[in-house]
Structure 1
Amino acid sequence: MKRSLLVGLTLMLVVTLMLGSMPISFAQKIPTMPSPSQYNSPVEYQRATGKKIARFNESPMLAELVKTGKLPPVEKRLPSDPLVIVPVEEVGQYGGTARVFSNSLTGYGEAECLIGFEGLVKLGPDTTSVIPNIAKSWKYTDGGKTLTIYLRKGIKWSDGVPFTADDILFWWEDVVLNDELTPVKPVTWSPGGKLMTVEKVDNYTIRMKFSVSHPFAILYLAHGWGTQASCYYPKHYSKKFHPKYTPIEELNKRAKAEGFDNWWQLFGKYNGFFGGGGANVEIGAPTLQAFMVAKKGIDYLMAERNPYYWKIDIAGNQLPYIDRIQVGIVTDTEMMNMKAITGEADYACMQTKLENYTLYKENEKKGNYRVLLWQRVQGADVAYQCNLTYKDDTVLRDIFRDVRFRRALSLAINRDEINQMLYYGMATPRQACPIPSSPYFEEQFANAYIKYDPKEANRLLDDMGLKRGPDGYRLRPDGKRLEILLEFYQTETPKRQTTELVQRYWDAIGIKVAVKEVTGELQSTRAMANLMQMSLWHADRCGFLFPLEPFWWVPMRHQWEVTWCPLWSQWYLSGGKAGEEPPKEAKNLIQLWERMQRTLSEKERIRLGKEILKSNAENLWTIGTVGLAPHPVIVRTNLRNVPEKAFFGWDTLWNYPYNPCQFFFKQ
């Protein structure tokens, strides 16, 4: 460990010195996007700008199909009010194949970043607002207990079949309410502990009814919860795999022929969409996304433009501009980076790393690309979590529960050194809390106990009675050496390098930390079984998602990344039937969040959210390091309309707010 630390820090120091002669600008706080980024219809565009969209245009690729009678004219393929997208730089040109590489077809990758997502509503480019998409408008009534959604009329699936309220009703009645497809009902749609009801008012109007006010519903729909297979299905296609519409004997026979045991596994195979990797998307499966799967194999996938895509630009050109997206599979991350710097990839973002920034910059001209620095939406790239419900060692658990211990750990971390060594000074020392663009942000939440003060850290540990033994390490109340096993899974952010430094800082105040790197599977298994003494993750949910999933600060999630309160979360999620009842302070966090979910006043919601964050500033339920870090994005020189500055991460669903359908190759 010490040798790898020395080598790692030496390399980073060399790179930092090299960067001294490189022009770097990273002062952005908001994306460089046009405002507004879209208009709800051509009529709205004309009303706002005085410019009329007189006619619709289409890709030459599709014009040929129209000429041969294989497609109807573009006017008949578009909805009555297509969504008008404002290009980031200029009206684009049709054509080209975008080449990207991914490490698998079973997860989020570069393809998703170019294909984009399509929700009923979507996250705006400011990453805080909700704007129209498939739904043209919506309204709450009955004190927030009823949400009525008005769909855009005339949208068609990629096979030309109309999209209607029946496609949403199929999701609810035939998927969510089917116990084999959905044995555990979604908490998202069960506010107050009771499942909502979904009604079809007419072909283009859906009404969701809740037992209590649910202002978060529209926020959920603006993220992944509002996309295909999460909120709507192509009923005309999906019903072929459902026993309500197709004899179950026939389905089970086909399931067995394809190697499955049950019909619902067959349903899963044929009803994926491009939002979790292309492996679960069948060729020709209907979609509302800009691209549809045309070819695929074990190590490649080809997506082609959706001829019925329902968005246009300000000149009346049907989007997308790009004809095809070609995905190649490369399992080695370093090889993926090589593909990018040698010019074989037109776009790369998911596997790029800041530590390779100088390598990317040095090869820009030769590789015919440019390097953009977007800002990650993680509140902290690495957030450490003491397991406050650890049962296998109650002495250690009680030490963790003493807030003085957590404060000491935080004060012992030299965040400025981490920032300089690992981020070239471009990140921000901070606790895990929302990013500055969030209405929930306050400086005090970010700055709590982040000053490097090992003297004060030692004083706090002394006050706890944790005396040092002969070897310099501190002793527990039972006389044993205080030693902590920190297990973590290396992914996305520089967790390994950060932990090498943090291990040294904590060693200096007499705390022995044994570090063990585990697989993702083991991280999940041990975290959910409450077996981890300490772990870490990157603190996402610090932007748009903070009010929806505040699990770094509220015991409301029991999953692989949340290790500070597994048993308290179990208690909450089971209604007190499992886990361990939280102490008063933690219960109060749950109550604050539940009140946030019900209040219709945004001002009151923000006040309640800040109470939660104030608690973390005082208690350090999780301990942040640095955040707001830059993220390198590699873009082919002539791939245009890609914003120069943007946010990047799960909170934004990667490129979702930036309309990748308007990216184009400039000739």
Structure 2
Amino acid sequence: MTRDRENPSAPRARGLSRRQTLAAGAALAAAAGALPRILRAAPAPVEPPFLAARVASGALPPVAARLPEEPLVVDLAAKGRAFGRHGGTLRTLFSRARDIRYMVVYGYARLVGWDHEYNLRPDILREVDVEDERVFTLHLRKGHKWSDGHPFTTEDFRYWWEDVANNPHLSPSGPLELMLVDGAPPQVTVLSETAIRYEWRAPNPRFLPALAQARPPFIYRPAHYLKRYHADYVAPEQLAPLLREYRTRNWAQLHNRLDDMYKFDNPALPTLQPWVNTMERNSDRYVLERNPYFHRVDAHGLQLPYVDRVDAGIAAAGLIPSKITLGEADLQARTLSFSDAPVLKKGERTGGYRTLIWRSGAASEIALHPNLNYEDPAFRALLRDVRFRRALSLAIDRRTINRSLYFGLAREAATSALPASPFYDEAHARAFAQYDPAAASALLDELGLDRRDGDGTRLLPDGRRLEIVVESAGERPVEADAMELVAETWREVGVRLIYRPLDRDILRNAAYQGRSMMPLWYGWNNGLPNPDTPPTDVAPVDQANFCWPMWGQHFQTRGRSGQAPDTPEGQRLLELFKEWNRAADRDARARVWREMLDIHARNVFSIGIVNMAPQPVIANTRLRNVPAEGIYAWDPGAQLGVHRIDEFFYEP
């Protein structure tokens, strides 16, 4: 890392802004671009009544001293939203104590983030200068502070890069894969307390979109807090009692335990999110309070969030709908499925809420993922044969599933880009997605699976029955119902389906190790890809993709574990992923995307059943600025995050 002083008189890089590129679809200027700063003047700030007593006692400075010099002024009118008022407690429910991490997802304070029209905008950052997708200069808001009042500066970025990401004790595998281009890290230069530059030798177009993810790479840390647990800053005799207190073996384990900004379960770890967790990990209820130093204000000067507290209770997933009808939640989407809608509608009056119907943004709401890395050689060869995957897809009666589980309101389709994406292709949506048991049987016969046992189940060449074990996280009742219907139609073509719900972590570990034959999950997280969206969902670069987890491991660990893709299609998808990263303009990236989507449509790597499924969202009858319609997606959008729940408020 190098350090230099920013020259305030130096001319800005000129060219189309990234916002213009994303919004208008124009080609990014070859020379440079930028995510523009918010130019609206900040109004006189208004003190939240919730904090007035602390301000009066001297425990907190007044709001004018807590805000950055240039806070993010939210244009509520542009989104058709009402100006709110301070106050109230927002109640929600999670099914596990560790799901407190979803408050980081929902809070959605990011260096840059997607707005309500899915344009990329500065958020925590004041501005971003981009040169050739290779040089990124991040400009912080002067005077921005962590939730404990300590200045948020480029020292927090330097600390993460030098003392965490490149420390072999804390990061044995080295920096995040995102931070490497062709295996090389960027040159990181601190320009001032509010400006830092990341410069790669080749383009890194994934960098900014990654910062806007539901689970982003936190490329900064509260250095002032974490240095007290770092061996480079604290003597061993000072660390020893801390190791005993936290029951950790060494300082690195201690640091990593206290350092996780996504888990959100260390109340002492300063944050930049709208609410601060006040409870220790593994609590049966979490209470979060407004961040006194949050960087957003509305155009009337009210510091966001509008709501003072979030009360997150923990309840079994199956009990959450009934708890809602008893009036125990004010905002809820997680754990709810369309099958809960009748109960939710019936309980609206007694529960004091309204039921909204949004749409899922996943490429498929329910998708089967034949594991091309499955450990059994005979079944692995079968799963890798495109004829087998096509046969299984053709043997699914999607219309019956849609009518039975979604009252016909979902869209019967293969795993594919949604109509709102510029890459939507009706042929991709329909590819091998029509119900045709005769064609499915013919393909299975062609594969040499023409022998059957007494109950009609086909036999493998080695005499074993053709039994497909489908495993899920067991969190959505609709999955079990869907698999019951799939099992009926697969049985007609001689394939037996065995459905087994597991714990989410058990499912993931089994898939990652090649022990899960066909995991059941959503389709691609991002059903709304555009040219600037990194094609991570459709390339073998992430072990979380259940189609090829070991190929993903190999990429993520730079060959230290997993397996390299060993099929022509897998190798081509990896080549295209690298081409996207090297592409000089949006047209080139769009061409890459279209070829990758075409490969998926032909090869049916993920067997989608329906998409654009209705997603119930309940909101207290007094809670305002909750969209009547919306997209509920992990990426892009962070589920509730893109809808900015810090702007929700209670009317009197």
Instruction: Provide TM-score, normalisation by structure 1.
Output: 0.86
Would the aligned equivalents of 1:39 and 1:45 in 2 still touch at CA under 8 Å?
no
In the alignment, which residue of structure 2 is the partner of 1:167?
Answer: 156
Of 622, 638, 643, the residue aligned with 1:653 is 638
- Distance change >3 Å, CA 533–CA 250, structure 1 → 2: same
Would the aligned equivalents of 2:71 and 2:295 in 1 still touch at CA under 8 Å?
yes
In the alignment, which residue of structure 1 is the partner of 2:414?
Answer: 431
- Distance change >3 Å, CA 579–CA 67, structure 1 → 2: closer
1:246 equivalent to 2:234? Answer: yes
Would the aligned equivalents of 1:503 and 1:513 in 2 still touch at CA under 8 Å?
yes
Of 285, 308, 328, the residue aligned with 1:323 is 308
1:45 equivalent to 2:40? Answer: yes
Structure 2 counterpart SS, 1:603:
helix
- Aligned-partner residue type, residue 40 of structure 2: Y
In the alignment, which residue of structure 1 is the partner of 2:291?
Answer: 306
Of 66, 71, 89, the residue aligned with 1:82 is 71
Would the aligned equivalents of 2:418 and 2:528 in 1 still touch at CA under 8 Å?
no
Q: How is 1:177-192 mapped onto 2 (pairs within 5 angstroms)?
A: 177-185=166-174, 186-192=176-182
Question: Structure 2: how far apart are the matches of 1:109 and 1:426?
Answer: 31
- Distance change >3 Å, CA 580–CA 309, structure 1 → 2: closer
**Could you list the per-position Cα deviations for residues 471-526 of structure 1 after superposition, in whole angstroms to 9, with x for gaps in the alignment?**
32323344544333333322357222111111111111111233333333332232
Question: Structure 2: how far apart are the matches of 1:137 and 1:373?
Answer: 35
In the alignment, which residue of structure 1 is the partner of 2:219?
Answer: 231
Q: How is 1:422-461 mapped onto 2 (pairs within 5 angstroms)?
A: 422-461=405-444
**Could you list the per-position Cα deviations for residues 103-149 of structure 1 after superposition, in whole angstroms to 9, with x for gaps in the alignment?**
233125664465x032111112123x2111111221222x4322111
1:133 equivalent to 2:126? Answer: no
In the alignment, which residue of structure 2 is the partner of 1:526?
Answer: 510
In the alignment, which residue of structure 1 is the partner of 2:144?
Answer: 155
- Aligned-partner residue type, residue 103 of structure 1: S
In the alignment, which residue of structure 1 is the partner of 2:588?
Answer: 604
Would the aligned equivalents of 1:100 and 1:347 in 2 still touch at CA under 8 Å?
yes
Would the aligned equivalents of 1:196 and 1:208 in 2 still touch at CA under 8 Å?
yes
Q: How is 1:403-422 mapped onto 2 (pairs within 5 angstroms)?
A: 403-422=386-405
Q: Structure 1 residue 605: deviation in Å?
A: 0.6
Q: How is 1:85-484 mapped onto 2 (pairs within 5 angstroms)?
A: 85-87=74-76, 88-107=80-99, 111-112=103-104, 116-127=107-118, 129-141=119-131, 143-185=132-174, 186-224=176-214, 226=216, 230-273=218-261, 275-276=262-263, 278=264, 280-283=265-268, 285-295=269-279, 298-330=283-315, 332-394=316-378, 396-469=379-452, 471=454, 472-484=456-468
In the alignment, which residue of structure 2 is the partner of 1:35?
Answer: none
1:621 equivalent to 2:605? Answer: yes
- Aligned-partner residue type, residue 123 of structure 1: W
- Distance change >3 Å, CA 104–CA 162, structure 1 → 2: same
Question: Structure 1: how far apart are the matches of 2:148 and 2:196?
Answer: 23
- Aligned-partner residue type, residue 460 of structure 1: L
Question: Structure 2: how far apart are the matches of 1:493 and 1:550?
Answer: 30
- Distance change >3 Å, CA 108–CA 593, structure 1 → 2: farther
- Distance change >3 Å, CA 421–CA 556, structure 1 → 2: same
Question: Structure 1: how far apart are the matches of 2:547 and 2:393?
Answer: 15
Q: Structure 1 residue 73: deviation in Å?
A: 2.6
- Distance change >3 Å, CA 239–CA 659, structure 1 → 2: same
Question: Structure 2: how far apart are the matches of 1:187 and 1:112?
Answer: 22
Structure 2 counterpart SS, 1:594:
helix
**Could you list the per-position Cα deviations for residues 191-243 of structure 1 after superposition, in whole angstroms to 9, with x for gaps in the alignment?**
2112223221111111112232101111111224656xx22111112211112
- Distance change >3 Å, CA 632–CA 581, structure 1 → 2: closer
Q: Structure 1 residue 613: deviation in Å?
A: 0.7
Q: Structure 1 residue 636: deviation in Å?
A: 0.7
Runs (5+) with no aligned partner, structure 1: 1-37, 47-52
Runs (5+) with no aligned partner, structure 2: 1-34
Question: Structure 1: how far apart are the matches of 2:375 and 2:381?
Answer: 10
Q: How is 1:501-516 mapped onto 2 (pairs within 5 angstroms)?
A: 501-516=485-500
Would the aligned equivalents of 1:80 and 1:153 in 2 still touch at CA under 8 Å?
yes
Range with bigger deviation, 400-409 or 617-626? 400-409
Q: Structure 1 residue 334: deviation in Å?
A: 2.7
Question: Structure 2: how far apart are the matches of 1:660 and 1:575?
Answer: 38
**Could you list the per-position Cα deviations for residues 384-415 of structure 1 after superposition, in whole angstroms to 9, with x for gaps in the alignment?**
12233334233x33332322221111111111
Would the aligned equivalents of 1:113 and 1:660 in 2 still touch at CA under 8 Å?
no
Structure 2 counterpart SS, 1:191:
coil
In the alignment, which residue of structure 2 is the partner of 1:553?
Answer: 538
Q: Structure 1 residue 580: deviation in Å?
A: 5.2
- Aligned-partner residue type, residue 116 of structure 2: P
Range with bigger deviation, 247-256 or 373-382? 247-256
Structure 2 counterpart SS, 1:634:
strand
Would the aligned equivalents of 1:111 and 1:327 in 2 still touch at CA under 8 Å?
no
Range with bigger deviation, 233-242 or 614-623? 233-242
- Aligned-partner residue type, residue 292 of structure 2: P
Would the aligned equivalents of 1:110 and 1:349 in 2 still touch at CA under 8 Å?
no
- Aligned-partner residue type, residue 126 of structure 1: E
- Aligned-partner residue type, residue 45 of structure 1: R
Would the aligned equivalents of 1:541 and 1:550 in 2 still touch at CA under 8 Å?
no
Question: Structure 2: how far apart are the matches of 1:160 and 1:479?
Answer: 69
- Distance change >3 Å, CA 271–CA 419, structure 1 → 2: same
Structure 2 counterpart SS, 1:144:
coil
Q: Structure 1 residue 459: deviation in Å?
A: 2.2
Question: Structure 1: how far apart are the matches of 2:648 and 2:498?
Answer: 47
Structure 1 counterpart SS, 2:538:
coil
In the alignment, which residue of structure 2 is the partner of 1:68?
Answer: 57
In the alignment, which residue of structure 2 is the partner of 1:631?
Answer: 615
- Distance change >3 Å, CA 196–CA 494, structure 1 → 2: farther
- Distance change >3 Å, CA 359–CA 113, structure 1 → 2: farther
**Could you list the per-position Cα deviations for residues 354-377 of structure 1 after superposition, in whole angstroms to 9, with x for gaps in the alignment?**
111010001111211011112111
In the alignment, which residue of structure 2 is the partner of 1:19?
Answer: none
- Distance change >3 Å, CA 198–CA 439, structure 1 → 2: farther
Question: Structure 1: how far apart are the matches of 2:329 and 2:483?
Answer: 32
- Distance change >3 Å, CA 408–CA 665, structure 1 → 2: same
Question: Structure 2: how far apart are the matches of 1:573 and 1:468?
Answer: 41
Structure 1 counterpart SS, 2:97:
coil
- Distance change >3 Å, CA 630–CA 39, structure 1 → 2: farther
Same amino acid, percent of matched pairs: 32
- Aligned-partner residue type, residue 82 of structure 2: E
Structure 1 counterpart SS, 2:368:
strand
Q: Structure 1 residue 177: deviation in Å?
A: 0.9
Q: Structure 1 residue 99: deviation in Å?
A: 2.0
Would the aligned equivalents of 2:170 and 2:252 in 1 still touch at CA under 8 Å?
yes
Structure 1 counterpart SS, 2:580:
helix
In the alignment, which residue of structure 1 is the partner of 2:650?
Answer: 665
Q: Structure 1 residue 435: deviation in Å?
A: 2.4
- Aligned-partner residue type, residue 398 of structure 2: R
In the alignment, which residue of structure 1 is the partner of 2:25?
Answer: none
In the alignment, which residue of structure 2 is the partner of 1:17?
Answer: none
